Structure 1
Amino acid sequence: MAKDSEENFAKVRTTSFGIFPEVCAPVFLVSAGLIIAFIIFGAGFTGTAEGVFMDVQSWISSSFGWFYILSASIFLIFVIALMASRYGHVRLGDPFESPRFSLVGWFAMLFSAGMGIGLLFWSVAEPLFHYMSPPHGEGESAEAAIRAMRYTYYHWGLHPWAIYSVTGLSIAYFAFRQKLPLTIRSAFYPLLGDRIYGPIGHLIDILAVFGTMFGVATSLGLGVLQINAGLNHVFGITESSFTQVVLIAIITGFATISVVLGLTKGIQRLSQFNIIVSVILLLFILVAGPTLFILRFFVETSGDYLQNLIGMSFWNDTFANTGWQNSWTIFYWGWWISWAPFVGMFIARVSRGRTIREFVLGVLLAPTLATFVWLSIFGGTALDLEVNQGVGLAAAAQENVATTLFVMLEELPWNAIISLIAVIMIVSYFVTSSDSGSLVIDMLTAGGHTDPPKSQRIFWAVTEGVVAAVLLVAGGLEALQAASITAGLPFCVIMLGMCYCLVKGLREEPITPDPQETEPEAPSETMGEISSDENEASPASS
């Protein structure tokens, strides 16, 4: 294994290209060229593009849905087995290095990483959809309500965070323990050796760029749909493709300002704002909504999820073939996998100094628990209004999924103020997602540079907004789903390779049997170390 971080970083050759001062030319030019070609195709041939998106989604879902299902379960089994193995005490950094963040601070950032536009979009609508049209049994019953939350937890719980754990753990181990560049290609060093600095390594990072770009664009597209729906609900602003493109342009402008301000003044403050407002909104709904019902609902549905976890993890809709799984589970697994480079990179950066066992326990359990609390409060309130109070939220969700959150908030006190706060929060998550996503893509296209030039981040932030706009115009929600499923497939193969390489790397390293070894000492400066401005940064996830 390579040990000199500066020497290894120098092997990824970077150069200036026009207005971009530091890029890995093969990764940057190929990624940017293909994405720009996609933009031209989607914007210039909208009707054709919509048909292509739908055909690709249908083919991948039908042909490779089983592969997504199996892979996601493999990732969950893999990280749990690694946590329980003799490698669990291996530190993600130097052997005696202390964690960079306190346990409370680390959990807070993991919580922040798990709360994003996607959760705001689906936390109310998804349980209602599953209640009306469950994958098994009859809908619109008490059993259907419990089953609805079982599958909502399945889509947002342990499996997504296992996907993020695989990527984050691989990046952290090879960057901080083996002193390789902070990029996806480094995870393949045990298999490829110095060939990671050549064409094969470039291809790996290009696939990671594509996954991140379309994963982030999917979230941005969902966010704009919901912002437009909220503005229509509160202020009567028309819902249309034109309005949504204008909103993308405006909010991408905010993201660009955040890029220019930098991590400390930009994304860090927005992330802290996101957490504060999210907790306020969560507590308000818990208190103003059916509090006792929510508490009972959380306990019962969490137990139901755990009881049925193994069966759900391998269910493939083999005989019924209703298309339900393709529309929901396959979309989610593709979305999470396409987000894996982005969220994995962030998790790795804030987890330096943790052991593998601490990492898996923290990344799997803390965000999953926080997400279940969120879903039980939002989804539980929605199902109580639907099942016990006859409000008709499910019909509203089927008519326009983006408005469902605001229709639910209308049933609570101070609904106009709370709806406005929800819109502001979605905008803030949009900005942090765009800014953080552009940072990760820029790092990948700059050869793993931990503080790449702002001009390149601005380019990628604008590009993300344009891709989201093209997807919305060329097919709306269906096109967003198609983008995630398509972008996630090749990176799913990459992730399976990462599992193999991580085990191979651990086996080749002499492992000290004593996890306490000696008193921690100050960590050394490495190219894998994040700058002081980045220590508090926290992006929004899907």
Structure 2
Amino acid sequence: MKSSQKIAAREKHEALPEGQYRFGDPVVLICSIGFILLFIGLSLFDLEGVAEAISAGFAWTARTLGSYFQILLLLTFFIALGLTATPAASARIGGTRTPELSTFKWVSIIMCTLLAGGGVFFAAGEPVYHFLVTPPAFDTEPGTAQAIAPALAQSFMHWGFLAWAILGSLTAIVLAHAHYDKGQPLQPRTLLYPVFGEKVMKGKLGGVVDALCVIAVVAGTVGPIGFLATQVSFGLHELFGVTNDYTTQLSVLVVLGIVYVTSAVTGIDKGIQIMSRFNVFLALAVAAVIFIFGPTLFMVNAFTQGFGQYLTSFFAMSTMTAQSAPDWWMQWWTVFFFAWFLGYGPLMAIFVARISKGRTIRQMILTVAVLAPVATAIWFTLLGGAGIFYQFTGVIDLTDALNNFQFDVATLTVAQALPGGTAMAVAILTLTTIFVATTGDSMSYAIAVVSAGHDDPSPLVRAFWGISMALMAAILLYMGAGQISALQQFIVITAIPVSLVLLPSLWTGPQAAFAMARAQGITSQRPAILPADEAGER
């Protein structure tokens, strides 16, 4: 048996250290489950009151703290990028030269479990929206040829370098060093250990920190799950005449829940990995059809100009504030997306650290913060760029739908206009469903890891969280899609405490990287003990 397998087997069967739980930290469970019950209970009691209260908090947060969120994302990206140029970036996660996952499997999981659910949902409609409503960083005439590049550039900004970097760069380094080298748990509280020490690791403060991060992810994940049900139900109605009602939406939720709960229960090595690989192959097939049989030259030119515009206008877009842009635009676009990604930050970093054992810090940062954003930009160009082409040439008209933020309508309309018509629409609906499922399974797994305090949580705990999110989506859909929107707005509010959890990684991330490099003999200090596989190689 290989040394890594022996270690994994020993860790699985030995007693759990203090502060780790087989079925979940009581503080995390009470706070997070309490939030779910409270939100549902208050919604049943006063539906409009809950929506109005969240809307007010959402508006205040976006207006007051929007610039802080933007600066945090900017610093995270540039510090992480700078770190890749140092010798410390050659240090390997977990101190082993043998990655647990092949490169293709590793990249597939990253692409399918981070921004996948939301990115696919917005890919067709967002570029068209910015084509019809010029973003405040630009002054082009909407709906004209000159508006194409800025529209794509603004979409690339929202789903690009900054969004991905906050999810798995500096924070993932801190967690990887703490977990693999120091034996600390894969929990958000570990990010605050350099600041608060053992107080945050063993006290109730740590439980509250973890619970806040879990709540943010629940709020951010239930939204895509619920909206997917409405999107698929609408698609089935338009394509096959199936009744578009709550029964159909509930049926979609049941199927989706079964898929991603099964995937989460079987774990990273089985369900999550298999579903991610299948989704990548399906996405590549859909992309190839769109590229070959769609408006190919238009999309190539649009991507080239759009990405160039993204780079040249990067700071203008990323530092846009409410003083230079309409309040509503900042709230519903840049600040909303950035706060959404911040809310996901700690748990996504846990997942990245968990699957990146054996990878170098440089590989991890460049894959998450550079390669993935470029791939996302290409996908947005294929779907959104094609949507712009069909809108520009009069094949479709999404003006009314996008003015009402009906992105499910936009996705299906663009899909039907693509080569293959109905077949392409079915393929994209299937792709969207599986992308949301991969987000659901990875987050169910990550929440279970946080709750248990170790990376081998009980399958029952994984299933519990997956089922809980599906049930919450079902209940809120029954109340009306407005409550799904209210819950998703809530993630902007939860981004306030979560951002404070992420903040120390700006300096502890580089410190952890250099500590790993010293321990592995990459910098001045030689390691006292080498892992068996590295000792054999040297």
TM-score, length of structure 2 as denominator length: 0.87
Cα distance in 2 for residues equivalent to 1:389 and 1:206: 49
Q: Which amino acid aligns with 1:522?
A: D
Superposed, 1:23-102 pairs within 5 Å as 23-94=24-95, 97-102=97-102
| 252, 271, 275: which one aligns with 2:280 | 275
Post-superposition CA distance 1:476-503 (Å, at most 9, x none): 5632441221222211111002333334
Cα distance in 2 for residues equivalent to 1:117 and 1:506: 30
| SS at 1:181 equivalent | coil
Structure 1: runs of 5+ lacking an equivalent:
15-20, 525-542
Post-superposition CA distance 1:332-385 (Å, at most 9, x none): 011111222332222112211223222212221211111111111111111111
Moved more, 411-420 or 288-297: 411-420
Cross-structure match for 2:506: 499
Moved more, 147-156 or 451-460: 451-460
Cα distance in 2 for residues equivalent to 1:252 and 1:374: 26
Cα distance in 2 for residues equivalent to 1:251 and 1:363: 26
Cα distance in 2 for residues equivalent to 1:105 and 1:341: 22
Post-superposition CA distance 1:446-476 (Å, at most 9, x none): 12x2121122222211211133345543515
After TM superposition, give the deviation of residue 425 of structure 1 in Å. 2.3
Cross-structure match for 1:406: 412
- 2:267·2:445 contact (CA, 8 Å) conserved in 1? no
- 1:382·1:408 contact (CA, 8 Å) conserved in 2? yes
Superposed, 1:190-339 pairs within 5 Å as 190-195=194-199, 196-240=201-245, 243-339=248-344
Post-superposition CA distance 1:127-157 (Å, at most 9, x none): 1111111223232222222111111000011
After TM superposition, give the deviation of residue 64 of structure 1 in Å. 1.6
Cα distance in 2 for residues equivalent to 1:329 and 1:517: 45
| SS at 2:147 equivalent | helix
After TM superposition, give the deviation of residue 104 of structure 1 in Å. 4.2
Superposed, 1:174-193 pairs within 5 Å as 174-193=178-197
| 485, 489, 499: which one aligns with 1:482 | 489
After TM superposition, give the deviation of residue 407 of structure 1 in Å. 0.9
Relative to 1, partners in 2 of residues 1:105 and 1:258: Cα closer, same or farther, differing over 3 Å?
closer
After TM superposition, give the deviation of residue 246 of structure 1 in Å. 4.6
After TM superposition, give the deviation of residue 389 of structure 1 in Å. 4.1
Cross-structure match for 1:145: 148
Cross-structure match for 1:118: 118
- 1:211·1:487 contact (CA, 8 Å) conserved in 2? yes
- 1:131·1:139 contact (CA, 8 Å) conserved in 2? yes
- 1:396·1:407 contact (CA, 8 Å) conserved in 2? no
| 425, 428, 439: which one aligns with 1:433 | 439
Cα distance in 1 for residues equivalent to 2:203 and 2:507: 20
1:163 matched to 2:166: yes
Q: Which amino acid aligns with 2:533?
A: A
Relative to 1, partners in 2 of residues 1:120 and 1:503: Cα closer, same or farther, differing over 3 Å?
closer
Cα distance in 2 for residues equivalent to 1:139 and 1:242: 40
- 1:217·1:467 contact (CA, 8 Å) conserved in 2? yes
Cross-structure match for 1:534: none
- 2:170·2:509 contact (CA, 8 Å) conserved in 1? no
| SS at 1:11 equivalent | coil
After TM superposition, give the deviation of residue 111 of structure 1 in Å. 2.8
Cα distance in 1 for residues equivalent to 2:328 and 2:275: 39
Cross-structure match for 2:376: 371
Q: How many residues align?
A: 512
Cα distance in 2 for residues equivalent to 1:513 and 1:167: 21
Cα distance in 1 for residues equivalent to 2:247 and 2:322: 38
Structure 2: runs of 5+ lacking an equivalent:
1-9
TM-score, length of structure 1 as denominator length: 0.86
| SS at 2:23 equivalent | strand
Q: Which amino acid aligns with 1:500?
A: W
After TM superposition, give the deviation of residue 192 of structure 1 in Å. 2.5
Relative to 1, partners in 2 of residues 1:296 and 1:250: Cα closer, same or farther, differing over 3 Å?
same
Cross-structure match for 1:540: none
Moved more, 124-133 or 53-62: 53-62
- 2:444·2:462 contact (CA, 8 Å) conserved in 1? yes
After TM superposition, give the deviation of residue 252 of structure 1 in Å. 1.9
Cα distance in 2 for residues equivalent to 1:183 and 1:214: 18
After TM superposition, give the deviation of residue 509 of structure 1 in Å. 6.9
| 405, 417, 428: which one aligns with 1:422 | 428
Q: Which amino acid aligns with 2:112?
A: S
After TM superposition, give the deviation of residue 239 of structure 1 in Å. 3.8
Moved more, 29-38 or 205-214: 29-38
1:443 matched to 2:438: no
After TM superposition, give the deviation of residue 201 of structure 1 in Å. 1.8
Relative to 1, partners in 2 of residues 1:54 and 1:348: Cα closer, same or farther, differing over 3 Å?
same
Post-superposition CA distance 1:372-403 (Å, at most 9, x none): 11111111111111113453234443353211
Cα distance in 2 for residues equivalent to 1:256 and 1:440: 13
Relative to 1, partners in 2 of residues 1:280 and 1:305: Cα closer, same or farther, differing over 3 Å?
same
Question: What is the RMSD of the two structures over their aligned residues, measured on CA atoms?
Answer: 2.8
- 1:167·1:495 contact (CA, 8 Å) conserved in 2? yes
Q: Which amino acid aligns with 2:147?
A: A
Cα distance in 2 for residues equivalent to 1:71 and 1:192: 21
Q: Which amino acid aligns with 1:65?
A: G
- Name the % identity: 26
Cα distance in 1 for residues equivalent to 2:418 and 2:27: 54
| SS at 2:126 equivalent | helix
Post-superposition CA distance 1:187-244 (Å, at most 9, x none): 2332222221222222221122112211211221232232122112212334445643
| SS at 1:452 equivalent | coil
Cα distance in 2 for residues equivalent to 1:108 and 1:438: 18
Relative to 1, partners in 2 of residues 1:416 and 1:361: Cα closer, same or farther, differing over 3 Å?
same
Q: Which amino acid aligns with 1:55?
A: A
Cross-structure match for 2:18: 11
